[in-house]
Chain A
Amino acid sequence: MSLIEPLQNASEDALAEGVQASSRRGFVRANLLGNKQAIFGLAVLAVFLFLAVFGPWIEPYDPLAKTGPVYAPPSSAHWLGTDDFGADMLSLVIAGSRVSLGVGFFAAVVAMVIGGSVGVLSGFFGGKTDTFLMRITDYVLVIPDIPLMIIAAALFGRSLTNIIIIIGIIYWTSTARLIRAQVIAVRERVYVKRARALGAGNSRIVFKHVLPQVAPLLIANTVLMVAVAIFAETYITFLGLGDPSTISWGRLIENAFNGEATINNAWWAIAPPGICVTIVILALTMVGQSVEDGLNPRLKVGHLSVRRFRLRPLNGKLNSG
């Protein structure tokens, strides 16, 4: 290294005032907090998360106890009425949020881990690894969800853990394809080539250069996946394949159906859990999409597409020779 003498005069342009620093947190602020859709989604999620976590302290009654007449309509005592057993619907919906959100979250994490790993390995190594993993992905992708869930529930039993794993195993494929495409793009970036030319090994390149670059996309995808998983849990349970010992929104709907709530005109037994599922899925989709939009500037409108510049009279203070 002593071969090289220090250079003078070379740093003139380096000394210059640099480009203005914009904070790294700017991304979150600009894309989530600056976006009404995302704020709304986050607020809704916060409410449901609060209900799920602090449920036992909020629930007005014990959700498993008979606290009123069968199918009592909403009243001041039972805001959302009671079900076919006489249990308080509001308490049941709050209790159900815990399982529904929990299953949704953990199933999405399972999908993220499997899909993320397959996507990264497939995209990064390419070649035979890619062909092999993508073949498997394709097979899983074409298996119809519901029959598989029915078979799996029948085979492995109807526990909550099994439901989480089944949902995770069915829904990782889209994540894998998405991440693979992104990894292929990152792999071809010059800075990854440069790291390789430096002598960096695969694990370093994957963990230091590739993963951080795809992480935001993976997170956005996971948020969207939570919505899919909550929906899946709801219909699995509705089909009678859920864990019989837990209360979830899907089970409430199933219960109401089995208890002939529709014949009894007890809309309050079936609508609230359904509405909750819809709202949570909507909120998750809003948040997930806002993150995705922020990540993909190409989704924003091209600026030449609208040619409506404004004219402005020149105010006198400009000295325009």
Chain B
Amino acid sequence: MIAVEDLHVWFDLPDGKELHAVQGVSFQLQEGSRLGLVGESGCGKTTTILAMMGLLPPTASVSGKVLLDGVDILERGEESVSPHRWNDIAMVFQGAMNAFNPVRTVGEQIAEPMKLHKSASGREADARVRELLELVGIPGDRASRYPHEFSGGMRQRAAIAMALACAPKVLLADEPTTALDVMVQAQILELLVDLTGTLGKELGMSMVLVTHDLPVVAQVCDLAAVMYAGEIVEMSGISAVYHQPMHPYTRMLFAATPDLFGDDEVLSIPGTPPRLDREITGCAFRPRCDSALGVCETVRPARRLGSPGHEARCHLNDPAIAQAGS
């Protein structure tokens, strides 16, 4: 339903160099499925979804395709993206709950995308706003309230309602629970699960959830894509990613995440991600990897399929190389 093919994003740097923020990301998302995009900060996960919305600054250049029901919406740049923005692909921005205009009512602000995209106006829009608020678990009559009268969790719900204003097919959510307490996080995640997926209450929406929090992906998503240095290094059904990780980074990321009941030692990943303003030779993760081979230094690993639907970019999955290495 929505597919990203070989997406690249570069940013011009003030010193004339370029930062290759997204380096050939591809994934597909079926109707009603939930993909978790995880990785450390600076790995390109937010840039990826901003590029899908065509929301990049003039310093950015983009190549690749974003196929919505088979049609490339990036083909003619802004011109071809804008009709789909918010109508088909909508986003809950990072920190959206704190980005409401304090002097306008929440209802007015939720109605804004409808008016901009001429999907509804006047009384129809008001009714739709009430409906959306009820959908995200806020009594409809709160539409006339101002943002400061809402708690943090309610503002986040309102931000989600705003993203749903034009009944999109795909919801992109950037760290939707990061600033929230666990209890409110659980409420918001429950809401996102209710709204999306095959059993989605109304829309049968699919969702891309960007987060640095692996357990959140584990509990909410069907698919997980682990990003590192602008690439998806591993992607599969969430269960396979957890139980049989094909990429050392995925394994180490899980090991770095404490589990409430887990007794295993929590281990940090040494080193820091590579800089993306110079070309990377070999595997980007090699300097931090605990099982790197000689070949990792020179050859950039290609995408390789393990079991069906489980892919990774790691030489260890190449039987020939793995054998030679051991």
What is A's interface to B at a CB cutoff of 8 Å? Answer: 12-13, 15-18, 20, 30, 303-304, 306-314, 318-321
Contacts A314-B64, A320-B8: A309 and B271 contacting too (C-beta < 8 A)? no
Whether B63 and A311, one on each chain, are in contact in the complex, defined by CB atoms closer than 8 angstroms, is yes
Name the one of B6, B10, B268, B302 contacting A312, with C-beta atoms under 8 angstroms: B10
B77 / chain A contacts, CB cutoff of 8 Å: 308-311
B216 / chain A contacts, CB cutoff of 8 Å: none
Whether A309 and B302, one on each chain, are in contact in the complex, defined by CB atoms closer than 8 angstroms, is no
A300 to chain B: closest CB distance in Å?
12
What is B's interface to A at a CB cutoff of 8 Å? Answer: 6, 8, 10, 14, 23-24, 51, 54-64, 74, 76-78, 268-272, 275, 300, 302-303, 313
Whether A309 and B272, one on each chain, are in contact in the complex, defined by CB atoms closer than 8 angstroms, is no
Whether A320 and B23, one on each chain, are in contact in the complex, defined by CB atoms closer than 8 angstroms, is yes
B74 / chain A contacts, CB cutoff of 8 Å: 311
Return 8 A-B CB contacts under 8 Å, by A number: A20-B275, A306-B57, A309-B57, A309-B78, A310-B77, A311-B62, A314-B6, A314-B8
Whether A320 and B62, one on each chain, are in contact in the complex, defined by CB atoms closer than 8 angstroms, is no
With A and B bound together, what is the CA distance between A20 and B302 in angstroms? Answer: 29
A16 / chain B contacts, CB cutoff of 8 Å: 270-272
A311 / chain B contacts, CB cutoff of 8 Å: 61-63, 74, 76-77
B303 / chain A contacts, CB cutoff of 8 Å: 321
With A and B bound together, what is the CA distance between A15 and B60 in angstroms? Answer: 32
Whether B58 and A306, one on each chain, are in contact in the complex, defined by CB atoms closer than 8 angstroms, is yes
Whether B62 and A310, one on each chain, are in contact in the complex, defined by CB atoms closer than 8 angstroms, is yes
The interface residues of chain A, by DSSP majority, are classed as loop
Whether A13 and B56, one on each chain, are in contact in the complex, defined by CB atoms closer than 8 angstroms, is no
A30 / chain B contacts, CB cutoff of 8 Å: 14
Whether B6 and A320, one on each chain, are in contact in the complex, defined by CB atoms closer than 8 angstroms, is yes
Whether A321 and B61, one on each chain, are in contact in the complex, defined by CB atoms closer than 8 angstroms, is no
The interface residues of chain B, by DSSP majority, are classed as loop
A308 / chain B contacts, CB cutoff of 8 Å: 58, 77-78
Best-surrounded residue of A13, A17, A319, A320 (most CB of chain B within 10 A) = A320
New A-B contacts (17) at CB < 8 Å, excluding given A17-B272, A304-B55, A309-B60: A12-B270, A13-B268, A13-B269, A13-B272, A16-B271, A16-B272, A17-B271, A307-B54, A309-B56, A309-B57, A309-B62, A309-B78, A310-B60, A312-B62, A314-B8, A320-B23, A321-B313
With A and B bound together, what is the CA distance between A304 and B58 in angstroms? Answer: 9
B275 / chain A contacts, CB cutoff of 8 Å: 20
Contacts A12-B268, A311-B77: A318 and B56 contacting too (C-beta < 8 A)? no
A320 / chain B contacts, CB cutoff of 8 Å: 6, 8, 23-24
With A and B bound together, what is the CA distance between A246 and B6 in angstroms? Answer: 74
Whether A313 and B63, one on each chain, are in contact in the complex, defined by CB atoms closer than 8 angstroms, is yes
A306 / chain B contacts, CB cutoff of 8 Å: 57-58
A321 / chain B contacts, CB cutoff of 8 Å: 24, 302-303, 313
B269 / chain A contacts, CB cutoff of 8 Å: 13
Name the one of A13, A307, A310 contacting B270, with C-beta atoms under 8 angstroms: A13
A307 / chain B contacts, CB cutoff of 8 Å: 54-57, 78
B270 / chain A contacts, CB cutoff of 8 Å: 12-13, 15-16
With A and B bound together, what is the CA distance between A308 and B61 in angstroms? Answer: 9
With A and B bound together, what is the CA distance between A30 and B268 in angstroms? Answer: 37
B23 / chain A contacts, CB cutoff of 8 Å: 318, 320
Whether A319 and B58, one on each chain, are in contact in the complex, defined by CB atoms closer than 8 angstroms, is no
Name the one of B8, B78, B271 contacting A13, with C-beta atoms under 8 angstroms: B271
With A and B bound together, what is the CA distance between A253 and B52 in angstroms? Answer: 64
The 9 nearest A-B residue pairs measured at CB:
A320-B24, A12-B270, A309-B56, A303-B57, A16-B271, A321-B303, A321-B302, A310-B61, A312-B61
With A and B bound together, what is the CA distance between A321 and B8 in angstroms? Answer: 12
With A and B bound together, what is the CA distance between A18 and B274 in angstroms? Answer: 10
Q: Which residue of B lies closest to A14 (CB)?
A: B270
Q: Which residue of A lies closest to B304 (CB)?
A: A321
With A and B bound together, what is the CA distance between A303 and B46 in angstroms? Answer: 15
Contacts A12-B268, A13-B271, A311-B63: A318 and B24 contacting too (C-beta < 8 A)? yes
With A and B bound together, what is the CA distance between A321 and B56 in angstroms? Answer: 24
A310 / chain B contacts, CB cutoff of 8 Å: 58, 60-62, 77
B61 / chain A contacts, CB cutoff of 8 Å: 309-312
A312 / chain B contacts, CB cutoff of 8 Å: 10, 61-63
A18 / chain B contacts, CB cutoff of 8 Å: 272
With A and B bound together, what is the CA distance between A149 and B280 in angstroms? Answer: 67
B6 / chain A contacts, CB cutoff of 8 Å: 314, 320
